[in-house]
Amino acid sequence: MSTNAIVDIDGTLVDTNYHHTLAWFHAFKTHGQVLPLWRIHRDIGMGGHNQRGGR
């Protein structure tokens, strides 16, 4: 018997950006920061140098 696993780290097989957005939204909210989902979503997958305030 063989056991296999498919790992999709970069979202090639399944688009997980929406799920990441919700997870970050809840994490921020837990710490008192409420951000619109669109603000979080637009930064998903960007390197730190591409985000607002990055160098």
pLDDT in tens, 4-54: 887 777 667 888 889 989 999 999 999 999 999 999 998 887 766 666 665
**Which of the four pLDDT bands, split at 50, 70 and 90, describes residue 1?**
confident
Is 30 within the bounds of a domain? yes
| Residue span of the structural domain in which 33 resides | 17-50
Helices within 1-55 (DSSP H only): 17-30, 37-41
Domain count, the chain: 1
Is 45 within the bounds of a domain? yes
CA distance 33 to 13: 31
CA distance 50 to 13: 24
CA distance 44 to 46: 6
